[in-house]
Amino acid sequence: MTRVLVGMSGGVDSSVAAAMLAQAGHDVIGVSLQLYDHSDAGRIARCCSPEDFLDARRVASQFGFPYYVVNQEEVFSRNVLDYFVDEYRRGRTPNPCVRCNGDVKFEALGRLAVDLGATQVATGHYARLDSCPTTGRRRLLRALDAGKDQSYFLFDLTQEQLSLALFPLGELTKEDVRREAEHLGLATAGKPESQDVCFVEGGDYREFLRRRSERDRVLEQDGDIVDSAGRVLGAHHGLSGFTVGQRRGLGVSASRRLYVVSVEADTRRVVLGDESELSAAALTLTGVTWLGSDAPGAPFETLARVRYRHAGVRCLVVPAAGGTARLTLLEPQRGISPGQAAVFYDGDVVLGGGWIDQVERSGVTPAARLSAGKAEGPRDGVNAT
C-alpha cells in the first residue's frame, strides 16, 4: 500500500483526486496549505478560506483519512505576493500560479511527504506524467482534457518534484470529475470553478497592489504616458496600473483607440500605440528549464504557448548560455508581455520553458526567417517537430 500525501484546496478537483486514491486502497494523508493572511487582505479573498478547509476536512472524514492544515503564509508572501507586486512595479506582467506551484505548493508538500513517510504527492491538477524513453527522467504531459490542461503552470517543477508528483485527474475530463464527485456525494461536488488569481478578491489586482503598497509604505513614482514616437500624451502615478495590451483606464483621451504597447521601468514611461503595434516577432527568455532532458545543443523548431489560454505558435528556439533562449515566432503574436512564461511542447510532451524577459515588436517575422535558422534537432530526448 502506497502512502500518498494529497494537497487539498477544498475544491472539487483535489477532493476527487483524494477520494479516488483512498478508494484505490492507498494510505492517503490530506493536507491544505494556509497561504494567505486574511487580516492583510482588507476583504476576504478566495485563497484559503475557512469554508475551503472545512470542505476538505469533510471529504477526509467521509473517506476516513487524516487531514491537516499547514501554515505557509510567510513563504507564500515572500515567493508569490512580493514577486507579484515587484513585477508590476517593474512594468512586467507576473504569473503567480507558476511561482506558487513550484516555489510554494510542491516545495512544501514534498518536504511534508518526506517527514510523513509518503512516497508520492498528489494534487488535483489536470496534467499527466511519464518517463523519457532516452534519459529515464520524468516528463510532464498535457492532460487529456485540453480545455482544462494545466501543464503550462507546472513547467517550472524540478525533477525531484516531478518524481514525487501524481496527477490522478490527468486522464479525466472536467465532466468526468463532476460526475464522480456527485456519485461519491462529495461536499464539494457543486462548487464553482476558480477563475481569477486566488489572492486577488474580485479580480481587481490594482486594488490589491494599492493595499499592499500602503502596507509596505512603498510609493510608486509618477511618469509620462507617451506614444510610440515619444510624444507625451499624459502622466501616470505608478507603473503597476498598466499592462501590455490594456485599452481601458489609460488616463488619456485620443481620437483613435490606443493600447499599452510597453511599460518601461527604467524611464517610468508607459508607451501607447495602435493595435498593430502589439504584435511580437521574437522573445528573449531567462530562467529556462528543460524537462526530461538536458538543454538542447542546437536550435530547434517547436510549439510554444506564451500564456495559459494560448493555443500555441510555431517558433524557432535558440538555447543560449546561462539558462537563456531566443524565440523567433513563425507568426507574430499579440499582447505578449515580459514577466509571462513561454512553454515549449512536442505534441503532448512539455519540453521546458522560461520567463519572457524581452519582447521584440519590430514587425512581422517572415516564415523564411524561421526556416533559415533551422538546424539539426535537439538530442537526448527532446524531439524537434
Q: Which residues are designated catalytic? A: 100, 198
Determine the straight-line distance between the first and last CA of the chain, rounded to whole angstroms.
Answer: 40
Rounded Cα distance between 293 and 136, Å, is 9
**C-alpha cell belonging to residue 274:** 495602435
Rounded Cα distance between 318 and 163, Å, is 28
For 69, what's the count of Cα atoms within 13 Å in the CB-facing half-sphere?
16
Which residue has 495590451 as its cell numbers?
245
CB 116 within 8 A of CB 4: no
Burial of 339 (C-beta count, 10 Å sphere; 0-12/13-18/19+): buried
- Dihedral sign computed on CA atoms, order 272, 277, 279, 283: negative
Minimal CA–CA distance to 161: which of 109, 126, 124?
A: 109
In what side-by-side order are the strands of the sheet with 259-264?
Answer: 232-236, 223-227, 269-273, 259-264
Q: How far is CA 178 from the centre of its chain?
A: 24
3-state secondary structure of 80: helix
Rounded Cα distance between 163 and 166, Å, is 9
* Residues 6+ positions from 366 with CB-CB distance below 8 Å: none
Amino acid present at 227: D
Distance set, CA 70 to CA 31, 55, 108 (Å): 7, 16, 9
